[in-house]
Amino acid sequence: MGRRSVEWGLVAALAAGAFAARLWALTRSAEPCGTDGYYYVVQAEQWIRTGALKVPDGSWVLRFCAVVARAAGDPVLGTKVAGALLAALCVPAAWALGAGLVKTREAAWALAIWAAASPGLTTLAAEFPKNLGAAAPLLVVAAVAVRPSRGAASLGAGFVGVLLAATAHRTGAVLWLLVVLPAVVARRRAWLVLGVAGALLAFVALSVALPNLLHPADLPRVTEQLDWPSAMPRARAEWVVPWIALVAAGIAWWRERRVALWVLGLPTLACVLPVWRGDLGYRLALLAPLFGVPLLVAAVPEATLRRVPRAAAAGAAIAGLLFAAPAGFDASADPPYSRYRRVVEAVPRPLPPLLIAHQGMSFLYTHLTGADAMAWAPEPELDRREVGRVAWGIRPGEWVALAPEPAPVPLDPEYAYVREDVWEAFVARAQAEGDDDLRERLSDWRNPSKVRPASLLRNRISASPGERR
């Protein structure tokens, strides 16, 4: 058996260990992972039943989750298996990137071990599988960009990596450009420019035809998210690495002006700049180590990498699989799905054609009942008498004082079911007559008040309002 075969056998074993470690972590909870957990479950269920998604979406990751769910025989387990598989694919992709960064194999193994042990990738597997779907393709694109080749295999891998990253999630559609642009500018090779232009045109065509891919219509949603992230990743030590890597890369640039430092440095900088907030900032922070860790490896002198004992690398791999990778998922941080289930079961029958319920509850409602729900306020053209709402945080005395008939139906101490026209009349009176505390509760995320932006409805032909997300 040749050396290359042994290496890839070890890489496969490391990837299998990463898959097992993450699947063990994710399956410690019987519920889907993250606030959007039931979104993926409902999408998989609908695809298995009908061959189409409940919410039209161009991302290939949702189809992948559905295929795995069908094989697993359970949509909840299937989405977790799919997330663990997507994270495991980062191991060989990281190894390939490390092999192209520097001449020593220690770099390849350092990145493979990181990908296997990364708690950030585990968090992505749990909470954001679509973002995670872009991770391994982005690593492949970076591997091609740091050492461009005219070989058909290399060019084909880069082209496929670009399309997979760009169609997994909007963040992937931006980050692949930041990876390849430094290589294009530095190399100035016609075949490389043509390849990037071809990939860009292919994605533009897909974006025009398919829903929920990056499009100029998304710009208003992005500009609303300029500030610090509202939450930091649980793996804070890993999140600090990209900042260290940027400093180390700046120092390394003066020693050796390598294109790889820009190929990895530009997307790292985009992920850590403190100009993002909320959901987007959180996702970018989780993706920052994807480029920051390879950037740090690229910035470290090769002689330093060669001094790392193989026993230490093996120990790091084992410790990472046992402790670091599982630490990226904390089931206690998930929504209280058991409580949400009781609330849903208490919604009066017959069910309304459409229910307004906050994020985390809306797709659980669809999963349990098969009926439509969404975490947005209804569009003006919808008949408010045909729309129900799960309202949060309104006290019984406030309902009595400000709500017209019919009276809301209590679902639990904090939730009540109310018809949408009654809710809107209550909100109007509360804004005029209520106190600041009540107004604050009305603006809480658990009482959806924003209508869906046009970007969410682009290229979506839907039979019912609840099928649009």
CB environment 323-341: b (16+ within 10 A), e (fewer): ebbbbbbbeeebbebeebb
For residues 362 and 3, what is the distance between their CA atoms, to the nearest angstrom?
A: 53
Q: Is the confidence at residue 462, as pLDDT, over 50?
A: no
Of 382, 379, 388, whose CA–CA distance to 423 is shortest? 388
Question: In this predicted model, which residue has the larger pLDDT, 216 or 445?
Answer: 445
Average pLDDT over residues 411-434: 95
Q: Is the confidence at residue 466, as pLDDT, over 50?
A: no
Q: What is the pLDDT of residue 206?
A: 79
Spatial neighbors of 405 by CB under 8 A, at least 6 apart, are: 422
What's the pLDDT tens digit per position in 103-121? 778 899 999 999 999 999 9
Q: What does pLDDT average to over the chain?
A: 89
Spatial neighbors of 303 by CB under 8 A, at least 6 apart, are: none
Question: In this predicted model, which residue has the larger pLDDT, 30 or 276?
Answer: 30
Average pLDDT over residues 201-223: 72
Q: Which pLDDT band, with edges at 50, 70 and 90, does 202 fall under? A: confident
Q: What is the pLDDT of residue 5?
A: 81
Spatial neighbors of 145 by CB under 8 A, at least 6 apart, are: 158, 179, 180, 182, 183, 259, 263
Secondary structure tally for the chain: helices H, strands E: 24, 5
Question: In this predicted model, which residue has the larger pLDDT, 394 or 454?
Answer: 394
Of 272, 274, 289, whose CA–CA distance to 238 is shortest? 289
Identify the weakest region by mean pLDDT among 18-32, 63-77, 161-175, 232-246.
232-246
Q: Which pLDDT band, with edges at 50, 70 and 90, does 463 fall under? A: very low
This prediction's pTM: 0.91
Q: What is the pLDDT of residue 381?
A: 93
Q: What is the pLDDT of residue 346?
A: 97
Q: What angle do CA 207, 281, 38 make, to 5 degrees?
A: 70
Q: Is the confidence at residue 196, as pLDDT, over 50?
A: yes
What's the pLDDT tens digit per position in 9-40? 999 999 999 999 999 999 999 999 999 999 99
Q: What is the pLDDT of residue 464?
A: 46
Q: Is the confidence at residue 465, as pLDDT, over 50?
A: no
Please spell the DSSP secondary structure of 62-102, one letter per residue.
HHHHHHHHHHHT-HHHHHHHHHHHHHHTHHHHHHHHHHHHS
Q: Is the confidence at residue 221, as pLDDT, over 90?
A: no
Question: In this predicted model, which residue has the larger pLDDT, 308 or 83?
Answer: 83
Q: What is the pLDDT of residue 123?
A: 95
Q: Which pLDDT band, with edges at 50, 70 and 90, does 135 fall under? A: very high
Average pLDDT over residues 171-197: 84
Average pLDDT over residues 432-439: 89
Q: How are beta strands 415-419 and 409-410 bridged, if at all?
A: antiparallel
What's the pLDDT tens digit per position in 67-101? 999 999 999 999 999 999 999 999 999 999 999 88
Q: Is the confidence at residue 44, as pLDDT, over 90?
A: yes
Identify the weakest region by mean pLDDT among 274-283, 289-298, 404-413.
274-283
Identify the weakest region by mean pLDDT among 262-271, 330-339, 449-458.
449-458
Percentage with pLDDT > 90 across the chain: 66
Q: Which pLDDT band, with edges at 50, 70 and 90, does 8 fall under? A: confident
Q: Which pLDDT band, with edges at 50, 70 and 90, does 223 fall under? A: low
Please spell the DSSP secondary structure of 149-216, one letter per residue.
---HHHHHHHHHHHHHHHHH-HHHHHHHHHHHHHHHHHH--HHHHHHHHHHHHHHHHHHHHSTTS--G
Q: Is the confidence at residue 1, as pLDDT, over 70?
A: no
For residues 101 and 209, what is the distance between their CA atoms, to the nearest angstrom?
A: 37
CA 454 to chain centre: 21
